[in-house]
């Protein structure tokens, strides 16, 4: 179930390259350290890694272009 901390975790995952690297190295550990539930930690462990990379790069570029 989505909660504000889970959304904050995703926002950081999408925008903070160093954090993203740490999460990819130890997804369950980082999720637990952020106080996420077991179910949310599992969702982070299972996430689509190529999709995450594409998303992070796209958000960085779109920030510069801006309109949607």
Q: By the criterion CB under 8 A, which residues form the site for another protein? A: 1-12, 14-16, 39-40, 43-44, 46-48, 50-55, 58-60, 62-63, 65-68
In angstroms, the Cα distances linking 30 to 6, 21, 23, 41, 51 are: 12, 10, 6, 8, 19
Q: How far is the CB of 51 from another protein (least distance, A)?
A: 3
Task: Tell me how far, at minimum, the Cβ of 38 lies from another protein, in Å.
Answer: 12
As a whole number of angstroms, the distance between CA 9 and CA 58 comes to 18
Nearest approach, Cβ of residue 22 and another protein (Å): 15
């Amino acid at each position: 179930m989505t909660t504000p901390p889970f959304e904050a975790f995703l926002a950081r995952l999408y925008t903070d390259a160093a954090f993203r690297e740490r999460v990819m190295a130890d997804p369950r550990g980082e999720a637990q350290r952020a106080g996420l539930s077991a179910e949310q930690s599992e969702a982070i462990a299972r996430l689509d890694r190529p999709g995450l990379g594409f998303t992070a790069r796209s958000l960085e570029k779109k920030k510069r272009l801006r309109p949607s």
